[in-house]
Amino acid sequence: MKQALLLPAVLLIAMTSFADTSINNFTGYNDYWYPFGDPATSIQTFGEIFTAPDGIRNLSSFSFYTGNPLQSGDIITGAYIATWTGTHAGTLLYQSGQYTYDNTGNEELTFNTGGLSVTPGQQYIMFLSTSQFHGESQGEAYVPAGGTNTYLDGFAYFNNGNGFGLLFSLPWQGYGLSPDWAVDIEFNNTPEPPSLAPFGSGILGTLAVLRRTLF
């Protein structure tokens, strides 16, 4: 009976080191950066630069908070994550495909990556862009400013029209800007499969010692 009670406790203690990590600087909806969309008066690409925290291996999902519409109508966009070179996007690591935002205001747009591998200490950029769907949007939207966070490295934008490739070859028109966009980034600290074997062996060894001690 004692062994049965101790097993969940041992597992709980061991798994705390694999707890998820969040970067969230949302402080409330507001209309700050202006405007995102595809019409001629709006900017086609908005992003947020971030650094992967120490000990992190997998980015599971990321979210952008939106403000009120400047112009009603759908925004046809895609969500992306790429490495950041210091002036522009580097290697594209994730793309969502076409995403239709209804642009009704004050929403959180969340994208699941399926477990994107990231390197601790490396800079990345998460961004929304209408460039691959140029001419399909009707709406424009403000996006809210968020609070400061150690791992967030500034708001970025590029008025790149339908030139999606320009995001990866030319310096963006603005980057490292303050305040940061209000975003949420979820990381999963679960170790990769090869590292689970010693973890399992450790659990079994601990249980064997406990069994000898108690019985």
Q: Where are the domains of the chain?
A: 1-19+195-215, 20-188
Separation of alpha carbons 144 and 132, rounded Å: 24
Q: Which helix (H) or strand (E) holds 9?
A: helix 2-15
Q: Which two tokens stand for residue 177?
A: 């800007």
What is the pLDDT, as a whole number, of residue 41?
A: 80
Task: Tell whether omega for the bond before 191 is within 30 degrees of 0, i.e. cis.
Answer: no
How many Å is the Cα radius of gyration of the chain? 21
What is the pLDDT, as a whole number, of residue 19?
A: 62
Question: CATH assignment of 20-188?
Answer: 2.60.120.820
Largest distance between two CA atoms of the chain: 76
**62 DSSP β-pair partners:** 111, 185
Whether the model clears a pTM of 0.85, i.e. scores above it, the answer is: no
What is the pLDDT, as a whole number, of residue 48?
A: 98
Separation of alpha carbons 215 and 208, rounded Å: 10
pLDDT tens for the 215 residues of the chain, in order: 445 444 444 333 443 345 689 999 999 999 999 899 998 788 999 999 999 999 888 999 999 999 999 999 999 999 999 999 999 999 999 999 999 999 999 999 999 999 999 999 999 999 999 999 999 999 999 999 999 999 999 999 999 999 999 999 999 999 999 999 999 999 987 654 544 444 444 444 443 444 554 45
What is the pLDDT, as a whole number, of residue 190?
A: 63
Check residue 148 and report its DSSP letter: -
Q: Which two tokens stand for residue 63?
A: 């979210």
